[in-house]
A and B are shown apart, each in its own frame.
Chain A
């Protein structure tokens, strides 16, 4: 029952890394939907698989990682396309034209030996049949829109001649140069200082209003998620444990992991003298995933005999989806 406004549908996505020591299930059955024009924040600790999940969408996972299964459906104007099984031609078409990405380290993600202009022009000319001069004008226009001063001069600058914030702006300009319907931003502000971070987030919000694209914001920073997200997905060990409207998830999380994550976040003002609650235990080693619910060894509400044997499925709780057996009964009670 895909709704009309769904842009991207991820069903049971599994991306595994086949290492010599065993298989790491980095993404282990993720279900997600991104609606047109909305911002979905994916939050979770380092190593929970959110980046690998994002890269899997455009099939950018380097070996030994590979997509083991699942479906990723992109609803384009001319009909839906499936990306997991897509051939290279279709995939290259979807990349950047429909779905563009912004990465964490703008210094490392841009080529240092090509000018910013030439990298944007390359993207434009790859997907649109325009001449060099026109593509260059487009690059200058995009640099202007992302707030880079003197774009006519900066278009010929190399990335190492710009500051970190300007570099990320250039990266965003490049990402939006083909007017994608979805922008995946993988920790776009993590490498930047707090002031620049706020500016970049505001810029993304403005550009979203202007271009109308959806944004998938990967972040480990709940503050960032709270600032930009319409909807939020909390990931733990390769699964989405809670998915719902950002306000609701942030104000009243249902999954014990989401609750613990929020408790561990420092808040200004209120109770700033109390100690932050840490999530107990450690993230389990990658080759030894706990059976049942993978969070049960760290969970305060774990039910012995149930949580360590039964893998929870997604359970609608209100208009949210929570993968936790605590809410299993509620669902069964309903007809």
Chain B
């Protein structure tokens, strides 16, 4: 078991190294760099940058060094000092920028996940057990609507309703008076009051999808012989349902649970942009648009690390959940 995970960790390191190179190269692929974006912006604003200023800027950001030198500088800083570099556009350390947004991103992701699970699991189980009943058809219908409606549209509609009928401020997670206030009870309550809209928006399509997955996975198990055995033993129906087929049907869920990790800092970009939520997604998007290369590179690096780690976490979770997997790891 230890040997198996030792090998897995080695693969993780190699994968991340490959990703870091790929990410860095891709960031540098489009023509131009951050300084050319600055020049274009300055010209659009009617001001020009003098050639001396341009040279100075390029020198300061080290943009004229060969790409592998730039890469080396970036990756050694991360590895040796935990320094993800400076964001050009924000003139702040990338770590600070992302760190500010992690908490809100995580709150948003976790609470919408909890909502998805709390609603989708019971409904999915119900739909599978009562397959082709009116209830099943009803939930399937709602589920397809939930999956088909684009998130940004739902966000716009909800914001309109909130503004028109409840007088809520449009977008953001705080009312204007709390925007820059220090944390206190009032600000927390204000956050709660705003948070439900994005949670609902993000949760709807996730819930709809989860219902379908839960239903399909459970239907695969519901008529297996071991369920007959359990019933023949005289177990009450709901108890045998949860203990045997539902348990078995959760294996695919555990094998993907780790992929939720990157979503904690970077998910739901479109909804966040539409609702102007201060989460990680819009930050990454703006960085890509202005060729803010250390911001984007480090962001992608963190997301990739979370994805790769998430996969390992998934495998561990599955081994914990399913003895067949556990025994196989032990043999290896």
Contact = CB atoms under 8 A, between A and B. Distances in A.
A101 B229 contact: yes
B319 to A, nearest CB: 12
A112 interface: yes
B8 interface: no
B233 A122 contact: yes
A8 B230 CA distance: 22
B327 A95 contact: no
B231 A103 contact: no
Contact of B233 (A126, A160, A161): A126
A46 interface: no
B73 interface: no
B225 A111 contact: no
Given A93-B234, A97-B234, A126-B235, A110 B324 contact: no
Give the interface SS of chain A, mostly helix, strand, loop or mixed: helix
Interface string A15-56: 000000000000000000000000000000000000000010
Contacts of B322: 113
A111 B226 contact: yes
Given A62-B223, A103-B228, A158-B324, A111 B233 contact: no
Contacts of B229: 101, 103, 109-111, 171
A96 B232 contact: yes
Nearest to B248: A113
Contacts of B6: none
A96 B236 CA distance: 13
B247 interface: yes
Contacts of B236: 92
B164 interface: no
Interface size class of A (residues with CB under 8 A): 20 to 34
A215 interface: no
Interface string B213-233: 000000000011110111111
B323 A109 contact: no
Interface in A109-126: 109-113, 115, 122-123, 126
Contact of A96 (B234, B247, B324): B234
Nearest to B245: A111
A101 B231 CA distance: 10
A82 interface: no
A240 interface: no
Contacts of B228: 55, 60, 101, 103, 109
A100 B223 contact: no
A86 B31 CA distance: 79
A93 B237 CA distance: 13
Give the interface SS of chain B, mostly helix, strand, loop or mixed: helix
A160 B324 contact: yes
A93 B233 CA distance: 9
Contacts of B324: 112-113, 158, 160
A113 B247 contact: yes
B329 interface: no
A108 B226 contact: yes
A101 B236 CA distance: 17
A161 B323 CA distance: 10
Given A158-B324, A158-B327, A95 B225 contact: no
B244 interface: yes
Contacts of B230: 111
Interface string A57-79: 01010100000000000000000
A161 B236 CA distance: 28
A101 to B, nearest CB: 5
Nearest to B325: A113
A96 B223 contact: no
A93 B248 CA distance: 26
Contacts of A221: none
A127 interface: yes
A60 B231 contact: yes
A126 B223 CA distance: 22
A308 interface: no
Nearest to B229: A109
B232 A60 contact: yes
Interface in A144-161: 158, 160-161
B214 to A, nearest CB: 18
Given A158-B327, A160-B324, A111 B234 contact: no
Interface string A84-108: 0000100111111100110111001
A129 B183 CA distance: 56
17 contacts: A92-B235, A92-B236, A95-B232, A95-B233, A96-B233, A105-B225, A108-B224, A108-B225, A109-B226, A109-B228, A111-B229, A112-B248, A113-B247, A113-B324, A115-B323, A127-B234, A161-B327
Interface of B: 223-226, 228-237, 244, 247-248, 321-324, 327
Given A60-B232, A108-B226, A109-B226, 13 more contacts: A60-B231, A92-B236, A93-B234, A96-B233, A101-B229, A105-B225, A109-B228, A110-B229, A115-B323, A123-B233, A126-B234, A158-B324, A160-B324
Q: Give the 9 A-B residue pairs with the shortest CB-CB distance, closest first.
A: A95-B234, A92-B234, A109-B225, A108-B225, A96-B233, A111-B226, A101-B232, A109-B229, A96-B234
